[in-house]
Structure 1
Amino acid sequence: MRLLIFALFSLLAFTVNAANLSESDVQRWIDTHPQIQAWLDQHEDLFPEEAEDDFSFNMEQIFAEGIQQLRDAGLYDEFNSQVQNAGFRSVEHWTETTQSITLAYMAVAMEDNPHSRQMVEMQLEEIRTSPHIPADQRDMYEAMLSSSLEMMDMAEQVPTADKRAVRPHMNQLDGLFEMAEDY
């Protein structure tokens, strides 16, 4: 379950969906987050723990695995009811909305901090050239930073309308995403 929870808020790698988000979509997602998160927390022990070395940076894959875990645990229909009660058509619609909001959030944050790409590129270069980092750690850090750069490439593709829908909600989303880092 930790994998699914992490996937909800991870800012590592996403697929670009031309979601055509509206401000009401974003607000509905924010408003229903507490009830959906409570359901996920309540059922966390029914899902397998992910191994530390089993970490994926591909958001689409993470969500697909999370949905499969719901099915395997026999909880897909119950979670589907939760997201439908929250105003989404299905688990898949909720995950697409989650991905789109998260990616648009990142795109806005990148616009507000135009040097973020440079910082990641500099960190990647430092890791690649440092003789003090063990090879296995270097590989892990390199994969994380490379995935971050790929995600930044995807964030640059976010439709202007999605960024416009997310921008008024940045403070609320900041709070939700900061809470997710605690998991």
Structure 2
Amino acid sequence: MPIHSFLRTALLSLLLLTSTASAEALTEPKVRGFISSLAELQTMEEEFADLTDDLGEEAGNAGMPDLSSIMSDSVRQFRDHPAYDRLDEVVSRHGFDSPEDWGATGDRVFLAWMAIQMQGQRPGIQQEMAQALAEIDNNPNLTAAQKEQMRAMMGGAVVAMEQIGQAPEEDIRAVRPHAAELRAITEAD
């Protein structure tokens, strides 16, 4: 009997590994759909004003966001908000099955876009962060508590850099042709 349990566990593990490894590629239509949905959502800014206020209050208490799930975390935060149904309508028009599907795609698009923006700067930034941490550790004028507090403050930036560095190359290739359009949409008032 133990061999059956082992085989069942091995088979389930293999199935999970296979399904995880074959995650859907970030395609041109998905990227375009995400960008066009963002553009449409921006035109509805007044309609989402309450939502922005609600999320702004929560974000102020949350600290550094998890960049690998920034969009899907936002979708989760307002699942019970009246604007959720409106978001569902918009993202459905742009080819998404649900706001959660849209959020997951947005996570990948934004992480890849941040990686594109950081390319060429990343090694220098990492060196600067390492140097700053060393300066904190070696500063005789800081107490242990102050050093710990400063390290914690920098920790969010270190985690963000690590997350950006983990953006899949395939996602970066899919997003690169749209980087300027993403920048224009996110910088628009």
Q: TM-score range by the shorter chain?
A: 0.5 to 0.7
Equivalent of residue 43 in structure 1, options 45, 48, 56: 48
More helix by share: 2
Alignment of 1:82-161 (within 5 A): 82-113=90-121, 114-126=123-135, 139=149, 142-161=151-170
With the length of structure 2 as denominator, give the TM-score of the two structures: 0.65
Structure 1 gaps, min length 5: 1-17
Query: 1: distance between equivalents of 2:24 and 2:154?
Result: 26
Query: 2: distance between equivalents of 1:115 and 1:85?
Result: 42
The one-letter code matched in structure 2 to 1:165 is: A
Equivalent of residue 178 in structure 2, options 146, 164, 169: 169
Of stretches 23-32 and 123-132 in structure 1, the one that deviates more from structure 2 is 123-132
Query: 1: distance between equivalents of 2:32 and 2:153?
Result: 30
Q: Quote the sequence identity (%).
A: 31
The one-letter code matched in structure 2 to 1:174 is: R
Query: 2: distance between equivalents of 1:169 and 1:63?
Result: 18
Structure 1 residues 151, 94: CA separation in 2 closer, same or farther (over 3 Å shift)? same
Of stretches 121-130 and 167-176 in structure 1, the one that deviates more from structure 2 is 121-130
The residue aligned with 1:70 is 78
Structure 1 residues 172, 51: CA separation in 2 closer, same or farther (over 3 Å shift)? closer
The one-letter code matched in structure 1 to 2:170 is: A
SS at match of 1:115: helix
The number of residues matched between the two structures is 162
With the length of structure 1 as denominator, give the TM-score of the two structures: 0.67
The one-letter code matched in structure 2 to 1:100 is: R
The one-letter code matched in structure 2 to 1:83 is: V
8 A Cα contact 1:104 1:162, kept in partner: yes
Query: 2: distance between equivalents of 1:54 and 1:121?
Result: 25
Structure 2 gaps, min length 5: 1-22
Give the CA deviation at 1:119.
2.7
For the pair shown, the structure with the greater C-alpha radius of gyration is 2
Query: 2: distance between equivalents of 1:37 and 1:126?
Result: 43
8 A Cα contact 1:63 1:95, kept in partner: yes
Give the CA deviation at 1:51.
6.7
